[in-house]
A and B are shown apart, each in its own frame.
Chain A
Amino acid sequence: MAEQPVAPILETEGLFAKFGKQRVLRDINFQVHRGETVAVIGESGCGKTVLLKMLLALMEPNKGDVRFDGRSLLDLSDRELVKQRLRYGFVFQQAALFDSLNVFENVAFGLRAHRDLDEAQIREEVKERLAEVGLSTDIVAKMPMELSGGMRKRVGLARALALQPEVMLYDEPTTGLDPIMSDVINELILRTKERHHAASVVVTHDMKSAKKVADRVVMLYPLGRLKDGEAQIIFDGTPTELDDSADSRVRQFVRGEAGERISEMAED
């Protein structure tokens, strides 16, 4: 008997997005399977973060659909959408910790809002999540402003993991960090995948990070510089295929070579 194809946990179909007159995404078709980590790479301004936010319905596309576990996120009622969002974890670029709450309250936030746990259970959960991202409980009373960039990112990861998500979305997780802390974050993304068996989407332009954490890499190209009728996803393959891509734009991006980009950008 023929094997049934495995349904993706997350899927976009013909996504279009624009802000005012500026078009950002065009006909994006994209799938993520359970346990898979997909890195979305591309130049600044090509729509990576917009795409990531649309996967969680934090932004609505002008056209197209986002399906999570077979259901369209755009057709859900507010209450149902909240239920589905709890199955995600989102790590923001600057961590987006609530600056009026301390570390403990930030990590406990989702638990207090959605789980019926007593204070001792919440304390235990917070302790476990902090340990998972390599932080001690000594910092629980600190406010976000007192933390370094790397610590903030790790607290943001702990907060995202608190509700045991099935899908993790990372928005430029290594941006602004030193090489060691970047690698710490990469290791945490890999460990999170192992422990929680979560599907992950990592938006990044850090090629070292993309190659280390991803099973598959998708590259978006800015719409303004695409030829007519050309797809916006200019690469979809494994990290090892990146260097040998037939598309010179992909190879240049991987190597970090500007090439003719400056003159192209001037024409935008």
Chain B
Amino acid sequence: MATQTTAPAGPIVYLGQWVAEAIAAFGQFTQFAGAVFGWLFRRRPYPGTLVPTMFSIGVRSVPVVAITGTFIGMVLAVQAFNQFRMMHIESRLGAVINASLVTELGPVLAATMLAGRIGSSMAAELATMKVTEQIDGLRALGVDPTHYLALPRLVACVVLIPLLTCIADFMGVIGGAIVAIKINHVAGFHYWLHSRDSVELWDIGNGLTKSLFFGVEIAVISCFCGFRAGAGAEGVGRAATEAFVYSFVAILMSDFFLGVFINTVYHSIWPVTLSKLGG
């Protein structure tokens, strides 16, 4: 009788398995995100779930976001000052610091900080609930865990992350101004004048729109990582790490695409003219 021999799995096999698993995971993520958004439009969060979640996500994040914002502004002022002084345009420092703060650095770095603080914590909490069968407990009691656990977290992130970004922006503006005006002795009048001229309401809206998307990404990715956690302490740890890493990557990628999209919209409404470019 002929004997069957099985060839050892090579790198192509492993690559194929990895791709298949990644596609399956993305499919599950899409399904999960669809379910959470479905609840958003169908039912309100369960009574008593939203306020504690908002407190945990919002109030407890204020100090860390404020510190992050302040130091972003201060670092920007320190780094930009020398460059601007060499060109004798240090009075324009406010324009660069504040424009980059409200459009890019404030939203992105605040979201990154929140992905670490809130995202990992949400994923670890949900993963622990899964490991200890509390999520099965909810389903056994006829309650959809996506509705009970993920929906309040999504609502809280969508509402509060833009607000926390406002705090980060504000503190960054203050931090940058302190370093520029008080330490580097840039004329305060010109600092604020150039800031006012270069930061439009559109820029603030741009940053806050991005932060809204970042909030959605952090909430959905972190809840998904928590819900699909593996067994034991290792599963919980991995869920927390994955929640941060995937949220961070999503924040950076969406920042790029949203930046391109928002700029396209801006230029289609207000086309760039030579006079504006100083030509």
Q: A98 on the interface (CB 8 Å rule)? A: yes
Complex Cα distance, B139 from A186, in Å, reads: 25
Find out whether the CB atom of B141 lies under 8 angstroms from the CB atom of A109. Answer: yes
A residues in contact with B137, CB < 8 Å: 90, 92, 96-98
Contact pick for B140, options A58, A78, A97, CB 8 Å: A58
Find out whether the CB atom of B132 lies under 8 angstroms from the CB atom of A96. Answer: yes
Chain A residue at smallest Cβ distance from B141: A110
Q: B142 on the interface (CB 8 Å rule)? A: yes
Find out whether the CB atom of A110 lies under 8 angstroms from the CB atom of B142. Answer: yes
Find out whether the CB atom of B142 lies under 8 angstroms from the CB atom of A86. Answer: yes
Find out whether the CB atom of B136 lies under 8 angstroms from the CB atom of A92. Answer: yes
Contact pick for B136, options A78, A96, A109, A160, CB 8 Å: A96
Q: A266 on the interface (CB 8 Å rule)? A: no
Chain A residue at smallest Cβ distance from B135: A96
State which size class the interface on A falls in: 20 to 34
Q: B20 on the interface (CB 8 Å rule)? A: no
Complex Cα distance, B134 from A251, in Å, reads: 36
Find out whether the CB atom of B142 lies under 8 angstroms from the CB atom of A58. Answer: no
Complex Cα distance, B143 from A58, in Å, reads: 12
B residues in contact with A100, CB < 8 Å: 52
Q: B39 to nearest A CB, angstroms?
A: 12
Q: A112 to nearest B CB, angstroms?
A: 8
A residues in contact with B132, CB < 8 Å: 94, 96, 99
Q: B32 to nearest A CB, angstroms?
A: 14
Find out whether the CB atom of A82 lies under 8 angstroms from the CB atom of B136. Answer: no
Chain A residue at smallest Cβ distance from B138: A98
Find out whether the CB atom of B134 lies under 8 angstroms from the CB atom of A98. Answer: yes
Contact pick for A99, options B134, B138, B140, CB 8 Å: B134
Residues 90-123 of chain A: 1 if any B CB is under 8 Å from the residue's CB, otherwise 0? 1011101111100000000110111000000000
B residues in contact with A160, CB < 8 Å: 140
A residues in contact with B46, CB < 8 Å: 113
Q: B200 on the interface (CB 8 Å rule)? A: no
Complex Cα distance, B47 from A107, in Å, reads: 16
Chain A residue at smallest Cβ distance from B35: A78
For the complex of A and B, list the 7 residue pairs with the smallest distance between their C-beta atoms, beginning with the closest: A96-B137, A96-B133, A90-B140, A82-B142, A110-B141, A86-B142, A92-B133
Q: Which residues of A contact B (CB under 8 A)?
A: 53, 56, 58, 78, 82-83, 85-86, 88, 90, 92-94, 96-100, 109-110, 112-114, 159-160, 163
29 contacts between A and B (CB under 8 A): A56-B140, A58-B136, A58-B139, A58-B140, A83-B142, A85-B139, A85-B140, A86-B141, A88-B140, A90-B136, A90-B137, A92-B136, A92-B137, A92-B140, A94-B132, A96-B132, A96-B137, A97-B134, A97-B137, A98-B134, A98-B137, A98-B138, A100-B52, A110-B142, A112-B47, A113-B46, A113-B143, A114-B141, A114-B142
Beyond A82-B142, A98-B129, A99-B132: 10 further Cβ-contacts under 8 Å? A58-B136, A78-B144, A85-B139, A85-B142, A92-B133, A97-B137, A109-B141, A109-B143, A159-B141, A163-B141
